[in-house]
Amino acid sequence: MLVGFSAGSTTDILARVVGQKLNREVVRILGLPDVKERLASLGAEPTPATAEQFDKHIRAEIVKFKKVVPDAHIEVR
């Protein structure tokens, strides 16, 4: 181990770049007419989003279901 050196920051940057590229490709693919048609035939409505938008959505869902689950007497294992 080198004092004052952290490889984590390089890994974090690489992960962020890979994640952004993957997100762009997923958004592009979800926009293809045949993919949209296939998903619609399955009853799915894709909502492409940035990582930040997805994070905000998931956090809101967690808040919502933290109330729904106990109110509906759903057992969490």
Q: Express each pLDDT in 17-27 by its tens digit.
A: 898 999 999 99
What is the pLDDT, as a whole number, of residue 55? 93
- Confidence (pTM): 0.61
Could you write out the DSSP letters of every residue in 5-69?
A: --SHHHHHHHHHHHHHHHHHHHHHHHTSHHHHHHHHHTT-------HHHHHHHHHHHHHHHHHHH
Q: Express each pLDDT in 29-47 by its tens digit.
A: 999 999 999 999 999 998 8
